[in-house]
Every structure is written in C-alpha cells, then in structure tokens.
Amino acid sequence: MAKLIALDAGTTGVTAVLYDEALVPLRRAYREFPQHFPAPGMVEHEADDIRRAVQVSLQELLSGVDGPIAAVGITNQRETVFALDRHSGEAYGRGIVWQDRRTHKRCDDLKAEGLGERVQQLTGLLLDPYFSASKIEWMRSHLPGLAEKSEQGGLVFVTVDSLVIQALGPDNLWVTDPTNACRTLLYDIERREWSAELCELFGVPMDCLSEVRPSVGPLGTAHLPGDRRAPILGLAGDQQAALFGQACYSEGDFKTTYGTGCFLVLNTGTQRREPAGGLLTTLALDAHGQPCYAVEGSVFAGGAVIQWLRDGLGLIAQAPDSEALAREVPDTGGVILVPAFAGLGAPHWDPDARAALLGMTRGTHKSHIARAALQCIALQCVDIVTLLRDSTGLPVDTLRVDGGAVRNDLLMQMQADLAQARVVRPADVESTARGAGALAALGAGLWEADPTAAGLPPGATVFEPQMPREEVAEIRAAWGDALRRVKTRPGPTA
C-alpha cells in the first residue's frame, strides 16, 4: 500500500497527515509556532519557527512508520512573505503575515493615483495590504541593505510554500505554483506569469521571485526522517487546496474553510468572472490539477476570534471549550462582537477598522461574549454568501465546510441558521491537507479525481436551518449597525 504525506503550513502551526493511496488518513501530527505582534496592525513570523515546525511534525508523524513514501503534497497560508538569502536560506528579518496592515497607506495612495482598476484587471485582486507585493516593497524600503542585495540577485522573496519546499531539501529550489503566485499582486492571472508591469510598480526585481511551476508535477525532493526521500508532486495555496479537497472541481461548486480566517471560494470554471462588492477573482484547480478561475471572499478573523477568547481574554483554556461556554446561555443577550482586530476583509476592505464589543450590560456574562464570538464568525461569512447570491445569481443553498473550527456544532448550526442554507461537514474536516494529499496522489498516478464527486460525502454531518427568518433578520440588522460603528470608510454593512 502506497503512503502519501500532506504538509499544511498554516498561519498558527504546521499539520502533517499520512494518507494511504485511497486518501484515507492514517496518522496526524501538529506543531504550533509563535506569532509576533510588534505593533498594532502588525503580524510577523520567524522563518526558522516554521521550518522547525515542519521538521518536528514530520518526525512525530513518521515515528514508527516503516516503508517508503510515494509522494508529498504541500499547502500553505498564502500572501505571507519572507526575504531569504538565495543560497543559504537565511532570513532577513521576520516574514510579514497576510493579516498585517502596515502598508495600508501605500495601497491607499496607489488607489488615489487611479491604479486600482489596472491592478485588478491583471491580478483579479484589490489594492490591499493583505497581499504580498506591498509587503515586499516595505521590506526593501525598511530593512537595511535589502534593496541593494535584491538588486544583486542574492535574495529571494518567497511565500510559505517556497519556504517549506526549500526546508525539505538541500537543493535550494525556490519554486511556487499559480495558486500561490496569484495571491502576491505580482502575477498576471490570464497570461499565467509574473507581471513586469506590476513588479516595476512595486519595485520588485523579477529575478528575486520564485519560479512558478504547475501545481501537479515535480517540485523538488523531500528529505524525510529515517533517511527517506520522496518527490514533492503537489502544491496549492490553502484555500485552493481545500476547494480541491472538498471535490469542488467544477463550475458552481462552493466551500467555506474556517481556519485562522474564513475563506469562501466559488469555482467558476474556465470563465473569469468579475465579482462585485469587494470579492476577488483568483485561480483554483480543476479535476486534473490545472488552473481554473474562482471567486473568493476572505474574512480575516475566524478561528482567530476563538484564539482571542483563549489567549487574549483567558475565558477558555482551549479552543473546543468555546462551545460549552457559549451553550450556557440561549443567546448573546444583545452583545455583538465585530472582530476587526486587523481590519475588515471582504466585502468591506477597511484596514483601519478596529474591533468592538457592543451591547454589554451589567448582566453580561463571559458566556454571552463567547456566544457573540461564535456568532460573529458566522455573520461575517453570511455577508459574503449574500453577496455571492446577489452577484452571481446562484442560490448558494449548500455550504461545504472544513477547517478546525467546524468541529464546533454550535457554530455550524449558527452558520446554517444565519445563512439560511444547509451546512455539510465532511467526516474528515482537514480538507486543506486532503487537497494537498490528493494533488500529490494525482502527480504520482495513484489517484484520479471524480468530477461528479461534489455530492454529499460519506459520513458527513448536515446542519439544516432552524431559526425563524424574523429572528435572523433582527440579528443581521444588529450586526449591520455594529459594522457601521467601527468602519472608517463606506461600503457594504450586511
């Protein structure tokens, strides 16, 4: 029986999963790594922390496992960028994480110059600090000697996929794939290549970027514990990997991933659609692992809200405790949390908005705050579902969900109620890792995707809407009012 490894280098940790050739998970290991917040709106990672988490999770995963590994697939947090020495891999300072908002003024200035429409035409994205290009520009301007070294060709600016691939082998390959490259704001999604025009706009030398290779195919060799080698044959950004792992290969297929953020992606097939209201056009993968188009909405604070309950407020000891605490009360008691800790993503794109906890009274208990925290995750997703319905004409009446937070039954019931849609949770909620494993299996010739497989998966749990529409309308109206209180610029509220 062939074995496959999927590595998911996420925002807060690295997950390693061992699959058999039928993509049945056999073992799992996880290692968290530190988050750094040097100033409000800034979020950073150490490259060596991620590399160490990769090695430790692999060591734990393969401890006691005999035999060869047929292939490795990689998936990763997108947009986060590092400056590394091309030859040694040494990092120049910390990496700037996708949540970081330090370059919002630069992006606003570019929009004021009228460049937003051209950038969106080339990339499908908005001019926003979420993406990698302005982060790279900031590094070149603020880290001593970096601009000169990048001009000399001794430096490479990489996303996390490239960092992981380089960490797995000594051959210093710096490679990425279209699903990651298209999130940098430097990649032309129609020509499928780095854009000289955009590189010039942001002052990024093109030879300081990773080589873009297909998502399925040879991407290097992984040097694994036990003196084993395995080809790296699959690669995709985390949301595209989750879409693939949820068998959303065809036009109209839709999924929501609940990780540190929440990401809603609708496959639009070979047709590029221009979404309205702050949604993005991006590249995804079809059943053969080839690029296709998708529409995406990004919520910056999903699981991060639950982490805040744990680490920021100390209301819970571990993330799963949030459900039991929230169930102590029947509703939020009028409390609304707007989790704009790092601004607001789609459909608002307001980097200056900040979080607020509203509607508290002397009767407010920590259980009300916990319930409001779960509810705000669902409400942010509902805003995007509503926009997708309105802009595409598709019913979006089934939400295929994945990610760690979907184990929370209360959150999933809230999502079904507030979206007025059926929520389908697969038995294996690690769809991101499954997608990476599937791409590796595809590359190794061990597995083929079934384009008709987007039906109800075996062992799935289904949540049907139960809340009366009148109550949904009241909650969404209160949410819209809370959004108006924290936003700093006009745009959709609910």
Query: Both 140 and 253 in a single domain?
Result: no
Quote the percentage of the chain above a pLDDT of 90: 65
pLDDT at residue 150, as a whole number: 76
Q: Look at residues 235, 263, 285 and tell me which one is the last residue of a structural domain.
A: 235
Residue whose tokens read 């809370």: 482
Contact 419, 265 (CB under 8 A): no
pLDDT at residue 103, as a whole number: 94
Contact 292, 283 (CB under 8 A): yes
**pTM, entire model:** 0.85
Model confidence over 107-125: pLDDT tens digits?
999 999 999 999 999 999 9
Per the domain annotation, does 227 fall within a domain?
yes
User: In a 3-state reduction of DSSP, which class is residue 231?
Assistant: strand
Half-sphere exposure of 317 (CA within 13 A, CB side): 1
Per the domain annotation, does 484 fall within a domain?
yes
pLDDT at residue 455, as a whole number: 57
pLDDT at residue 308, as a whole number: 92
DSSP string covering 247-302? T--STT-EEEEESSSEEEEEEEETS----STT-EEEEEE-TTS-EEEEEEEEES-S
pLDDT value at 270 more than 70: yes
Per the domain annotation, does 404 fall within a domain?
yes
In the structure encoding, which two tokens stand for residue 255, read together?
A: 């999924």
Exposed/middle/buried for residue 341 (C-beta within 10 Å: 0-12, 13-18, 19+): buried
Query: Both 170 and 257 in a single domain?
Result: no
pLDDT at residue 492, as a whole number: 56
Q: Look at residues 205, 235, 265 and tell me which one is the last residue of a structural domain.
A: 235
Per the domain annotation, does 434 fall within a domain?
no
Query: Both 229 and 303 in a single domain?
Result: no
Q: Distance from CA of residue 300 to its chain's centroid?
A: 9
Model confidence over 69-111: pLDDT tens digits?
999 999 999 999 999 998 888 999 999 998 898 998 999 999 9
Per the domain annotation, does 459 fall within a domain?
no
Query: Both 218 and 319 in a single domain?
Result: no
Among candidates 128, 79, 138, which has minimal Cα distance to 104? 128
Per the structure, the count of domains in the chain is: 2
Q: Which residues contact 214 (CB under 8 A, 6 or more apart)?
A: 177, 178, 289, 290
CA 463, 466, 467, 470 dihedral sign is: positive
Q: Which helix (H) or strand (E) holds 392?
A: helix 366-392
pLDDT at residue 453, as a whole number: 60
Query: Both 262 and 221 in a single domain?
Result: no
pLDDT value at 147 more than 70: yes
The residue type of 34 is P
CATH number at residue 358: 3.30.420.40
| pLDDT grade for 435, boundaries at 50, 70 and 90 | very high
Query: Both 209 and 263 in a single domain?
Result: no
Query: Both 224 and 177 in a single domain?
Result: yes
Instruction: State the pairing for strand pair 3-9/71-76.
Output: parallel
Among candidates 41, 173, 52, which has minimal Cα distance to 488? 41
In the structure encoding, which two tokens stand for residue 76, read together?
A: 């990763």
Contact 225, 238 (CB under 8 A): no
Contact 260, 251 (CB under 8 A): no
Per the domain annotation, does 241 fall within a domain?
no
Per the domain annotation, does 448 fall within a domain?
no
Of the two residues 60 and 99, the one the predictor is more confident about is: 60
Query: Both 371 and 396 in a single domain?
Result: yes
Contact 73, 235 (CB under 8 A): yes
pLDDT at residue 457, as a whole number: 66
Of the two residues 171 and 269, the one the predictor is more confident about is: 269
How many residues would you count in the chain? Answer: 494
User: Which residues constitute the domain of residue 147?
Assistant: 3-235
In the structure encoding, which two tokens stand for residue 192, read together?
A: 């499928």
Tell me the mean pLDDT in the region 389-407: 83
**How far apart, in whole angstroms, are the C-alpha atoms of residue 331 and residue 11?**
31
Reading across the β-sheet that carries 461-463, which strands appear in turn?
Answer: 280-285, 291-299, 262-269, 254-258, 398-402, 422-425, 461-463
Find residue 19's DSSP bridge partners: 4, 25
**How far apart, in whole angstroms, are the C-alpha atoms of residue 4 and residue 7?**
10
In the structure encoding, which two tokens stand for residue 23, read together?
A: 């993509």
Query: Both 225 and 251 in a single domain?
Result: no
Of the two residues 259 and 114, the one the predictor is more confident about is: 114
Q: Look at residues 235, 258, 285 and tell me which one is the last residue of a structural domain.
A: 235
pLDDT at residue 28, as a whole number: 94
Terminal CA-CA length for the chain = 50
Query: Both 223 and 276 in a single domain?
Result: no
User: In a 3-state reduction of DSSP, which class is residue 59?
Assistant: helix
Of the two residues 393 and 331, the one the predictor is more confident about is: 331
Tell me the mean pLDDT in the region 239-254: 88
Query: Both 53 and 154 in a single domain?
Result: yes
pLDDT value at 388 more than 80: yes
User: In a 3-state reduction of DSSP, which class is residue 482?
Assistant: helix
DSSP state of 130: T
pLDDT value at 310 more than 90: yes
Contact 293, 283 (CB under 8 A): yes
Query: Both 296 and 180 in a single domain?
Result: no
DSSP state of 86: T
pLDDT at residue 170, as a whole number: 67
Model confidence over 276-292: pLDDT tens digits?
777 889 999 999 999 99
User: In a 3-state reduction of DSSP, which class is residue 377?
Assistant: helix
Per the domain annotation, does 113 fall within a domain?
yes
Model confidence over 329-378: pLDDT tens digits?
999 999 999 999 888 877 887 878 899 999 999 999 999 999 999 999 99
